[in-house]
Amino acid sequence: MISERILIICFSISIFFACSPSSSVVELNVTNNLDKDRKSETIEVDLKQLPKLLSKFSPEQIVIKDGNNDQILLSQLIDLNGDKIPDQLIFQSDFQPNEHKHFHIEGIEGKLELPKSKISTYARFVPERIDDFAWENDKVAFRTYGPEAQAITESGKPGGTLSSGIDCWLKRVDYPIIDKWYKQDLEEGKSYHKDHGEGLDNYHVGPSRGTGGIGIWKDGTLSTSKNYESWKIIANGPIRTIFELNYGSWDADGLNVKEIKQISIDLGTNLFKNTLLLGNYSELPNITLGITLHDKAGEVLTDVEQGWFRYLEPHDGSELSTAIVVDPSIIKEFIDHRVDEQDLSNLLIVCEQAPEVTYYAGFAWKKSNQFKLPGGFDTYLSDFADRIASPVVVEVLE
């Protein structure tokens, strides 16, 4: 009898530990060390930190739960290297100053009912508009131009675009508009250059840098690439979209430049992240980031110590503030470059040589009612720079 009871107890203990939450739950602690709020903070979890959990569950069976109420949060798996195996699990949360939050990473058997969201990040190649490439989140939208648009322009035909500058699409709704605006323009004659209640594209780029285009500054002249040559989408929402634009090799006053941009955009931010990859960076002086000054009627404001730069201008009956944020340690100088030639006046941020230059670019439009201009957006840029300099601390306890 005693041996049977011992057997039963041992069996029960084994069942308890097999079914215990500890076998399918990993604790996650996240800390905001800034004395500032952080809205829509994206938290990244490297799946290599979850070997025990992933020995029992596939990445698609893993969810993030709020540590206070056990609510499943919107999350996204990301395959960074294209091998069809997810590398990251990301989600978002708001943090108060110096707040510490607790989350659960949990494996769940069976079919998952994950939260849905009407807002999303998004990017796509747009063959119905020559070969645009466009991207957006719930705050802002952008586009740039491909090789066919370049070829049309260089052949002397109308309708093309020759520019590696970044175009801003001014949206004032939080839901995706890229597909809708292109479709309405092509099928209904409803031009996205006019505001039909959701915003519009009335931002001129031309050969300027737009908002976040790059170049090489040499002997008082900015050399730039032409249109992108190829594209690749790495991840596409809902929380983060990542893609690459390959500009191939181009000449900068006798210097050969090999340029790839890896761009990502998260929910809840007015700035997209751009990681500039330069294969021959050691040969290149003065890697330069730019913002167009259009007709030079606006105001430049900079904070070199924090690494943010913005241009506030009157814009089609409203106001627009375009900006770049970059690590201040790589800034060599900035140049308020104003000339008589159309589209060649730019605010230029000259950076040190590096294999990768990471910076953030974007805008705030007065009609979107997201910020009071200029002060509200200036504060946002300052806080954004602080957040980049002091990321949240993520601790995985498997």
The percentage of the chain sitting over the pLDDT mark of 90, rounded to a whole number, equals: 88
100 with 150, same domain: the answer is: no
57 with 132, same domain: the answer is: no
The reply to whether 228 falls in a domain is yes
Contact (Cβ atoms closer than 8 angstroms) between residue 170 and residue 201? yes
Q: What is the pLDDT of residues 110-169, one digit of tens each?
A: 877 889 899 999 999 999 999 999 999 999 999 999 999 999 999 999 999 999 999 999
More confident of the two residues 78 and 109: 78
**Which residue segment(s) compose the domain that 179 sits in?**
122-389
* For residues 30-34, average pLDDT: 98
* For residues 209-225, average pLDDT: 96
Q: Of 44, 79, 111, which residue constitutes the final position of a domain? A: 111
User: Could you tell me which of 41, 33, 45 has the C-alpha nearest to residue 93?
Assistant: 41
Report the C-alpha gap between 213 and 164 in whole angstroms. 6
Report the C-alpha gap between 370 and 381 in whole angstroms. 13
Residues constituting the chain: 398
149 with 298, same domain: the answer is: yes
Pick from 78-82, 263-267, 280-284, 287-291: least confident: 280-284
Instruction: Return the structure tokens found at 186.
Output: 């092509």
152 with 176, same domain: the answer is: yes
H or E element that contains 11? helix 2-19
Report the CATH number that the domain containing residue 99 is assigned in CATH: 2.60.40.1180
Number of domains in the chain: 2
82 with 176, same domain: the answer is: no
144 with 204, same domain: the answer is: yes
101 with 224, same domain: the answer is: no
User: Could you tell me which of 296, 295, 285 has the C-alpha nearest to residue 333?
Assistant: 285
Amino acid 95: pLDDT? 98
The reply to whether 306 falls in a domain is yes
Report the CATH number that the domain containing residue 229 is assigned in CATH: 2.70.98
The reply to whether 9 falls in a domain is no
37 with 126, same domain: the answer is: no
252 with 365, same domain: the answer is: yes
52 with 161, same domain: the answer is: no
The reply to whether 15 falls in a domain is no
* Position 23 pLDDT exceeds 60: no
Amino acid 2: pLDDT? 43
Contact (Cβ atoms closer than 8 angstroms) between residue 140 and residue 362? yes
Amino acid 74: pLDDT? 97
91 with 151, same domain: the answer is: no
Amino acid 1: pLDDT? 42
Model-level pTM? 0.93
